[in-house]
Amino acid sequence: MIPVPGFEGQRVAVFGLGRSGITAARALHAGGAIPILWDDGVSGRMQAEAEGFAVEDLSRADWSQFAALVLSPGAPLTHPKPHWTVDKAKAAGVEVIGDIELFARAMARTPGTVRPKVIAITGTNGKSTTTALIGWVLKQAGLKVAVGGNIGIGVLALPAPAEVGVYVIEVSSYQLDLTTGFAPDVAILTNISPDHLDRHGGMEGYVAAKARIFAHAGLSLVGVDEEWGSGIAAILASEGRNGTLISAHPGESRDPVLSSETPALQENGQSDHPQTGHPKDWVPAFAGMSGKMWVSPGRLSLVGGPSIDLAAARSLPGRHNAQNAAFAYAAARAVGVPHDAAIEGLLTFPGLAHRMEHVGTLGKVRFINDSKATNADAARQALSSYERSFWIAGGRAKAGGIDELEDLFPRVVEAFLIGEAAGPFAARLGDTPHRISGDMASAVQAAAEAAAASGREAVVLLSPAAASFDQYPDFEARGEAFRAAVLNLGATPSGHG
C-alpha cells in the first residue's frame, strides 16, 4: 500500500467503494487522514464497516468539514450531469480528486533519493497492452517494477515507494479528469478515437481529459496517427517538451513533424537528410534517439537511428502491436534500460490476456481471444492483423456499430454473431458471409467447424467490436467464456500470445 500524506487529522469524503474507493480509503487512513465513506450500494457500505471505516450518508453530511472529496472514477464529474456529491463538494468549496491524484501527492512528498520513476499510459486502445509490455520489459531488465492503476491492482494498493524502482500505471480518461498535480516521468498517449463521449460531453472533453496526462510530465510519448493526437503533439511541441512522436503512417500523418515535408525514410529506418532545423522537432527521449519513431508490422524505425526487427515477437502481431512496442521501447530506454535489454524484453513478451491472445490450436485452426476489443477501432487492429479470419463479433453495440470496419469485411471469411448486436451487425455485413449464433459456445463451435472445413491454416478470431454487458459482467468474463468453449472442443491450450 502507498500511504497518502497531506490530510493528517482531516476528514476526507470518499464516495464509491469499488476497488479504487476502498483502496483510497485505506491509503488515506495509513497517511493519517480520517476517511468518511459512502456508497449507494449496501454491499460496499457493509465492507467498509467490516474494515472499521466510518460510514456516513454524505447526502446529510456537513461538507464544510471535509478537506476533499475522493470520487470514484465510475461517478460522473461533469457529464451527463455532475454526481450529487460533486455538487455538494463544489458548493462547499471542497476540492474533488481521485485515486491517481492521491498517488501523485504521495509521490510528491516522497524524498527524491527513494522516489521511484513513474511511467503512465493512456489512450483509447492499446493502453493495457502497452502497460503490460512496459512492465514486462522493465522486469526482464532487472528493475523493481509495480504495474497497476486502471489495469490489475489499484494504484494505491501497489507496494510502497521504498520497495519499487518504477511504477507503470495505466490511467483512464475518468481518472485523469480527477487529477491536478499528476507528474509522471514518462507520459504516453497511444491513440485517441471516439469513446466515452457521454461522460465527457463530447469529443473535445474526451481529448482534453486524455491530454491531462502531459500537464506536468517530464517526457511525452505521443501517437500522432489521428488528428486529436497530432493536435496534442503540436501544442506540446510549441512548449518545447522533451519527447518522441510515434507514427504507423509517417507519410500520411497529420502531425507537421511527420508530414510530407519531413525527409523520406529509407527501408532501414535511416533518413535521407539530417533531421535538424525543423521548427517542430522535439528534444529526444534519451541520448542517441531522434524525437520521432515510425512503425510497420514487425518493425520499429528510429528516425536518424536503427531499425528494429520484431518478427520473432509472436505476441506482437500487426502494426498496432508494433506501435505498442515502440512506446515500450522508448519508455524503457528513457528509464535507463539498455538497447539490447529492451529488445530482448519485447521479443519475449508473453502477451496480455484477452488482447490478441492465442488461447489454443485445433488442427490447422488457431483461436485468438481479443475480447478486450469493445469498440470498432479496437477490432480494426485485430482484423487488420490477419488476411483471413472467421470472426466472432457482437455484444452491446456502441455508437456507429461496425460501420467503420466495412473496408475490412473482405478479410472476413465468415462472421459469427452474438448478443444484442447480432441483428444490427448482420444487417451491416450485408453480402459478407455471416450467421447469427446467439451465444459464445454456439459461435465457437460453428466457427471452428467452418475454419476446419476450409482445409487450410485458419484463424478463429473473437474481436467483438462491442461491449460485453448484455451477456457478461465484463470483457474478461467474455474472454474466459471463449477460452472455455475453445478448450471444450479439444484444442491444445497455449500460453498468452
- DSSP for 39-54, please give it: -SSHHHHHHHHHTT-E
Q: Position of cell 453495440? A: 397
Judge whether 70 and 13 are in contact, CB under 8 Å: yes
pLDDT for 151 equals 85
pLDDT for 64 equals 97
pLDDT for 274 equals 29
- The x, y and z cell numbers of residue 335, run together, are 528509464
CATH architecture under which domain 101-348 falls: 3-Layer(aba) Sandwich (3.40)
SS3 459: strand
Residue numbers in the chain where pLDDT is lower than 70: 250-291, 304, 495-497
SS3 23: helix
> Dihedral of CA 81/85/89/92: which sign?
positive
How far apart (Å, rounded) are the C-alpha atoms in residues 196 and 489?
Answer: 37
Judge whether 481 and 440 are in contact, CB under 8 Å: yes
Q: What is the pTM of this model?
A: 0.79
pLDDT for 282 equals 52
pLDDT for 196 equals 78
Instruction: Report the relative pairing of strands 307-309 and 299-302 from DSSP bridges.
Output: antiparallel
Fold classification of 11-97 is: Rossmann fold (3.40.50)
How far apart (Å, rounded) are the C-alpha atoms in residues 367 and 493?
Answer: 10
Distances 289 to 187, 266, 330 between C-alpha atoms, Å: 17, 17, 9
Nearest C-alpha neighbor of 383 from the set 410, 346, 420: 410
pLDDT for 265 equals 26
Domain locations in the chain?
11-97, 101-348, 357-493
Instruction: Report the relative pairing of strands 145-149 and 166-170 from DSSP bridges.
Output: parallel
Report the CATH number of the 357-493 domain: 3.90.190.20
pLDDT for 121 equals 98
Torsion, CA 254, CA 259, CA 264, CA 265, rounded to 10? -40
pLDDT for 262 equals 31
pLDDT for 353 equals 85
Nearest C-alpha neighbor of 219 from the set 238, 240, 200: 240
pLDDT for 250 equals 59
pLDDT for 251 equals 52
Judge whether 461 and 391 are in contact, CB under 8 Å: yes
Judge whether 378 and 318 are in contact, CB under 8 Å: no
Q: What is residue 405's DSSP assignment?
A: G
**E strand or H helix at 55:** strand 54-55
Sheet holding 186-189, edge to edge: 145-149, 166-170, 117-122, 186-189, 219-223, 243-247, 292-296, 299-302, 307-309
